[in-house]
C-alpha cells in the first residue's frame, strides 16, 4: 500500500499515456447527457471528473452508483461504465441497461466480464493495469474519464496539461505532503472524523472518507457547504470533543462559502477543540484537488499504521461478495 500511494504521481503520468494511445471509434453525437456508472474505488474517479469539468461540460454529467440508470438514458446518451475488476455486478447490470436503451456505451476496466462484453459487442474500451486494490488505481480510472469526455466532444483538451503539471507538483511536494499527512494523522487518531468542503470539492471528501473506511478501518462522515448549513449545522448541538473536523479548503472557494466556513468553525469550536483546516496547493483546480486526494490517501495509511491494522485487508467486503454469489 505504501508503494502504491507513493506511486500516485507516476500513475497519473502513465494514465495520460494510456489515454493518448487509446483507440476509440468515431465519436458521433452530439450527446444530450452523460451518465457514469461505477462503485467504490472504481466509481469515485467518475465523480471527481464530473466535478472538475462541470463548468465546461457541454451537457449534464451524472454519476450513478447502483444497479440501474436514470429513466432519461436513451440513444442520445453517453454511458461510461467503470469497473476496475470488470466484474462489479452493479456496474455490469447498469451497463446492460444502457445497451438495451440504445445508449453509446464505453468502458474503463482492467479485464473481467466487462472487457469481454466490450470486445464482443464492439464497444469503445480503455484497458488499465490490473492486479491491485481498485482504490489504489484511482489515477488510471480518473484520467481515462477525461479522455473519454474529450473524445466524445463533452470537454476540451486542457486537462492533459493540467494533470501533467499536477503530477510534477505532487512529485516535488512528496515529502512535504507526507509530513503534513503525518501531523494531521496525529490529530485525528482516536477521534471520530467529520470531513467538510465546498460543494465543488465534495467528491474529494468522499474519496477521503472511503480511504479512511477501507485503509484505516474507521467510520466517519462528510458533508458539503453550503448544503450542510441548512441541516447538519443544527446537529452540532449533539457534538462533543471526541469528534475531529477536517475542512478541505481552496483559496478559490466561493467568497460567500469562505465566510460560511469561518462562521462554521466558530460553531464547531463550541463543541470540540479538534478543528483542522487543510489548504490545497496548485495552480489549477486539477492540481488542487489531486493534492488533497494524495494527502488524504497518506493520512489513511498513517492512521492504519497507528492502529496496527492492515490497510489492504477488506475481508468483510469479500464476505459480502461471497454471500451474494451464493444467491441465485
If asked whether residues 285 and 147 sit together in one domain, one would say no
If asked whether residues 95 and 157 sit together in one domain, one would say yes
If asked whether residues 191 and 119 sit together in one domain, one would say no
DSSP 175: H
* pLDDT of res. 106: 98
Rounded Cα distance, 83 and 131, in Å: 13
Rounded Cα distance, 170 and 162, in Å: 12
If asked whether residues 10 and 158 sit together in one domain, one would say yes
* pLDDT of res. 207: 98
* pLDDT of res. 24: 97
If asked whether residues 32 and 141 sit together in one domain, one would say yes
* pLDDT of res. 129: 96
* pLDDT of res. 67: 96
If asked whether residues 158 and 209 sit together in one domain, one would say no
If asked whether residues 153 and 239 sit together in one domain, one would say no
Helix, strand, or coil (residue 67)? coil
76 catalytic residue (yes or no): no
173 catalytic residue (yes or no): no
Q: Which of 25, 121, 179, 321 is catalytic?
A: 321
Q: Which of 173, 214, 218, 274 is catalytic?
A: 214
User: Is 275:239 a contact under the CB 8 Å cutoff?
Assistant: no
Of the candidates 164, 198, 213, which is a domain's last residue?
A: 164
* pLDDT of res. 214: 97
If asked whether residues 157 and 23 sit together in one domain, one would say yes
- Expressed as residue numbers, the domain containing 201 is 174-307
pLDDT beneath 50: ranges in the chain:
none
If you compute the radius of gyration of the chain from its CA atoms, what whole number of angstroms results? 20
| H or E segment to which residue 108 belongs | strand 104-109
pTM: 0.96
How many domains would you assign to the chain? 2
Q: Which of 230, 270, 323, 328 is catalytic?
A: 230
* pLDDT of res. 201: 97
* pLDDT of res. 30: 96
* pLDDT of res. 199: 97
* Residue at 325 is within a domain: no
If asked whether residues 122 and 45 sit together in one domain, one would say yes
| 140-176 pLDDT, tens digit each | 999 999 999 999 999 999 999 999 999 999 999 999 9
* pLDDT of res. 181: 98
Helix, strand, or coil (residue 85)? coil
Strands across the sheet with 124-127, in order?
60-64, 33-37, 77-83, 104-109, 124-127
Rounded Cα distance, 155 and 149, in Å: 6
If asked whether residues 263 and 227 sit together in one domain, one would say yes
230 catalytic residue (yes or no): yes
Strands across the sheet with 243-249, in order?
220-225, 192-198, 243-249, 275-279
- CATH number for the domain spanning 254: value is 3.40.50.10490
Of the candidates 140, 164, 188, which is a domain's last residue?
A: 164
Amino acid at each position: 500500500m505504501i508503494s502504491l500511494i507513493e506511486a500516485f504521481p507516476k500513475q497519473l503520468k502513465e494514465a495520460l499515456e494510456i489515454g493518448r494511445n487509446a483507440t476509440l471509434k468515431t465519436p458521433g453525437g452530439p450527446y444530450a447527457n452523460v451518465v457514469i456508472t461505477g462503485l467504490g474505488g472504481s466509481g469515485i474517479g467518475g465523480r471527481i471528473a464530473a466535478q472538475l469539468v462541470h463548468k465546461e461540460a457541454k451537457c449534464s454529467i451524472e454519476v450513478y452508483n447502483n444497479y440501474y440508470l436514470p429513466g432519461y438514458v436513451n440513444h442520445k446518451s453517453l454511458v461510461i461504465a467503470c469497473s476496475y475488476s470488470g466484474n462489479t455486478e452493479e456496474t455490469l447490470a447498469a451497463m446492460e441497461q444502457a445497451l438495451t436503451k440504445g445508449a453509446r456505451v464505453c468502458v474503463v476496466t482492467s479485464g473481467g466480464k466487462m472487457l469481454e462484453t466490450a470486445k464482443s459487442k464492439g464497444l469503445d474500451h480503455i484497458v488499465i493495469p490490473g492486479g491491485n486494490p481498485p482504490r489504489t488505481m484511482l489515477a488510471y480510472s480518473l484520467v481515462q474519464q477525461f479522455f473519454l469526455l474529450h473524445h466524445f466532444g463533452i470537454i476540451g483538451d486542457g486537462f492533459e496539461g493540467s494533470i501533467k503539471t499536477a503530477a510534477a507538483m505532487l512529485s516535488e511536494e512528496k515529502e512535504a505532503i507526507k509530513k503534513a499527512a503525518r501531523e494531521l494523522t496525529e490529530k485525528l487518531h482516536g477521534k471520530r472524523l467529520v470531513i467538510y468542503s465546498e460543494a465543488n470539492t465534495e467528491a474529494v471528501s468522499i474519496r477521503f472518507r472511503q480511504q479512511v473506511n477501507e485503509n484505516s478501518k474507521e467510520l466517519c462522515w462528510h458533508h458539503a457547504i453550503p448544503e450542510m448549513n441548512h441541516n447538519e449545522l443544527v446537529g452540532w448541538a449533539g457534538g462533543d470533543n471526541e469528534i475531529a473536523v477536517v475542512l478541505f479548503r481552496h483559496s478559490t472557494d466561493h467568497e460567500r462559502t469562505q465566510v460560511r466556513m469561518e462562521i462554521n468553525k466558530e460553531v464547531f469550536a463550541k463543541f470540540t477543540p479538534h478543528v483542522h483546516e487543510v489548504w490545497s496547493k496548485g495552480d489549477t483546480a486539477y492540481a488542487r484537488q489531486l493534492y488533497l486526494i494524495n494527502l488524504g490517501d497518506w493520512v489513511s495509511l498513517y492512521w492504519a499504521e497507528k492502529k496496527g491494522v492492515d490497510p489492504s485487508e477488506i475481508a468483510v467486503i469479500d464476505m459480502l461478495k461471497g454471500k451474494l454469489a451464493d444467491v441465485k
